[in-house]
A and B are shown apart, each in its own frame.
Chain A
Amino acid sequence: MVIPHAVRRLVPALAALAWMATASPVAQQPAAVVGQVDIGIPITTRRPSTPYPTRAVPSPALAPASERRHVVVYLREARPQPVAPMRVSMLQQNEHFIPRVAAVTVGSEVDFPNDDPIYHNVFSLSRAKNFNLGRYPRGATRSVRFDRPGIVKVFCDIHSHMSATVMVFDHPWFDVPDEDGRFELTGVPPGDQEITAWHERLGDTTALVHVQTGRPVTADFVLPVPEEGR
């Protein structure tokens, strides 16, 4: 994730200052941020309209039951940390990427197994990771390793309506809410922290929380952000 250098330098400095000021061993303990993400509007999923009859492939199923799964909650302006690589699978099924949104650590590998009886392709034009896995049939799996933090949009060049997002973090403080919208960021450094909830289409919102030692902090989000005087 790209963060302005000035801010990146400022945050550790501030953290050090806070640490020196409090000088309390309790205050140095990280704490969890938990919360709830809600989607304020109903979202339907629809194929783009076309003047031609639909293709012979069966209509794609609706989006996953909960749009809450399409949200990534993460700690903003976090200092880069050494993180353990993960392995995540993004299935291609019914002309959809499932899940549509994934969040991984730098160095993680994402598998793209094809579960449809047709060819799929996986490619990306994003700055953080520019790749093209080519076309491959059902049962085949190809993988991509994400080495830079950032946001990567993934598409299929055969089925232009298919898209997915992979967010790559260089710190561990991120989470994808469960079906009910609950999330938990563990071990967040104490102090004033910015927590952002990002939805692939509905925008993002950021909440300021004060993390204190040993006590979970709650942060709730509603997306999209209600429009005010816009």
Chain B
Amino acid sequence: MSQPPRLVVRTLAVTFVTLTRQTLFFSGALRALVSRSWQRWTEVTARHVVFRQCRTVTVAIILSVVFVVLTLDARDRVRAAETEKLRVAAQVFTMVETRRQQDQVAAIATLAENPTLKAALDTYVTESRLLGPRPDPQLRNTVAREAERLAALTAADVLAVIDTQGQVFASGGPLRDRWAPGQRIPLSIITEPTFQDVVALPGGAFRVSGAALALNDDRPIGALVEAVSLDANYAQELSNFSSAGVVIVVNDTVVARTVSEVVARDLAEAGATEAVRMLNGEEYAIGALFSLGPARIYTLSSIDAAARAATRDAMMALGTIAFGAFVLAALGSFWLARTLTDPIDRLAGEMEVMTAAHDLRPTLRPTGTSRELDALTDAFNELMRGLVAAEAESRAAYLGAIRALAAALDARDPYTAGHSERVSALSVLMGRQLEIGDSELDVLRLGGLLHDIGKIGLSDEVLRKPGALTSEEFEQIKRHPALEARILRQVPFLAPHLPIVELHHERPDGRGYPFGLRGEDIPWPARIVHVADAFDAMTSARAYRPARAPAEAVAELRRYSGTQFDSACVEALLTALPLATTAPEPALQELLGRQLV
């Protein structure tokens, strides 16, 4: 059989379902807003039943407004941040670059003091004046080897020696092929002591730092030039440095870029007159990183992309918060449900214990968590108190009636007057000797009182006959336990006493009546009452004989111990007898004072 779900489960389920439905709706609506899909928005909202309620519409409108404001605000911030980032990057780059160029110029000026280069170039110039412009190959090799060595030292792409005509005499470095001997370098300032420029060669654009090679006078004999290729690697380096896109433009032509070709071309055509500009349909923040000769180096970063990222981050944060709130709400509802159900559980547990013990006397403790529950508990306690009192009252009335009945029965025969009370009292004493429980003693007490109630059905002639009974009369007598049982079965409340009244004439040897049960088959209370009944009968006077002395009765009981009487009960009687003679008869009040379930 399936049990109904517990209250806490039901509460949790209700809270959870509500929360989940709301969350799913709002997250769907948010996703629709983020992806700016109106169709999806209407789908989501139409699917949501609650949406038709005005409340949700209001919430959705507020949500949309918040989202739009958030997006616009994020975009503004991103635009400002990107522009500022590029500005700072350009500033830092300018600083670093200025310093680097100083260092580079210093380095190249130092290298220009190289005696081999100077000597070789001067020798070449002097010889070519006399012998024509065909240099000594050995001389050129010497210079080329020296240039190679210096290029390796300075990590330059190219290190070249240029004569006063602007022609390459010899070059070294990884890209020396683009500075082949004899190639004309379009530099107009090579006669300056040091110079910097950008040159566009067929093999690519180069940033050059140079120093004049001069002997001991003011007329330079040529120049030493260190060149850095403005290629994709250089652009990538700058891009890593500024964490933005880089476009290198020389003579209005894009020579290197880290952004798409279209964007780079747009930028080259437009130039960087503004900090923010539309390129290829997207908004870009643009910074001018470097400008020298015909070269312009720009950094740029897409505001749209950054804004998308920022919005996505904000949405992630929002989602995390929503999830956190969801979890918190779930935990909170669980806690709330527990605070509600825990006291109820406790009360139910206590009631269960009371019911199992058939003890209505303990009161339920107040829960202290809610006034409603405490009121309920108080009412229950009051009810139970009334119930207990009523039961005690009705029980007392019942016992009184039974007692009166037993007394009336005993009074039919003057010889048996007080017999039932005595048997009852003696049985209780014997029961105590046999160390049986309190509730059993109560059963014994009442059973002793009721044990002869069946005699109500015997005629006075049989009951009070002074002489010996005929077998027919004895058969009549033997029927009284069955009669008693029949009477008591009418009263469910007396069911525990039934074995005593029905079986108190059974004998251990199986020769008793009405069933002839043997030994252990006879219940304890019945065996006890049997012995007590026999003792009281023997020590009471009868119409046909005087009362016998207790000692005589005891001897008689001993003689038949184990056959007619249960031996343990006889022993108990012997132990209890001294107490019975000294202790007063148990009062009716004491008997009635006990409240039994």
Contacts and interface: CB of A to CB of B under 8 A. Distances in A.
What is the interface of chain A mostly: helix, strand, loop, or mixed?
loop
A125 B212 contact: no
A160 B118 contact: yes
B216 A96 contact: yes
A22 interface: no
Nearest to B117: A160
Contacts of B115: 155-160
A155 B129 contact: no
Given A96-B216, A126-B127, A161-B215, A49 B193 contact: yes
Nearest to B116: A157
A127 B216 contact: no
Interface stretch (B22-30, B103-111, B354-362, B458-466): B103-111
B130 interface: yes
B99 interface: no
A155 B216 contact: no
Given A47-B216, A127-B136, A160 B113 contact: yes
Given A45-B216, A52-B106, A201-B219, A125 B131 contact: no
Interface in B110-145: 110, 112-116, 118-120, 122-123, 126-127, 129-131, 136, 138-139, 142
Contacts of A48: 112-113, 193, 212, 214-215
Nearest to A50: B109
Of the listed residues A48, A123, A130, A151, the one surrounded by the most CB atoms of chain B closer than 10 A to its CB is: A48
Interface residues of B, number: 33
B311 to A, nearest CB: 51
A158 B257 CA distance: 45
Contacts of B113: 48, 50, 160
A203 B219 CA distance: 12
> Helix, strand, loop or mixed for chain B's interface?
helix
Interface in A188-230: 200-201, 203-204
Given A44-B218, A63-B217, A163 B119 contact: yes
A124 interface: yes
A51 B109 CA distance: 7
A46 B114 contact: no
Interface string B344-382: 000000000000000000000000000000000000000
A55 B105 CA distance: 19
A52 B120 contact: no
Contact of A50 (B110, B129, B217): B110
B217 A45 contact: yes
Given A44-B218, A48-B212, A125-B139, A204 B129 contact: yes
10 contacts: A47-B216, A49-B109, A51-B105, A127-B127, A151-B127, A153-B123, A159-B115, A163-B215, A203-B129, A204-B129
Interface of B: 102, 105-106, 109-110, 112-116, 118-120, 122-123, 126-127, 129-131, 136, 138-139, 142, 193-194, 212, 214-219
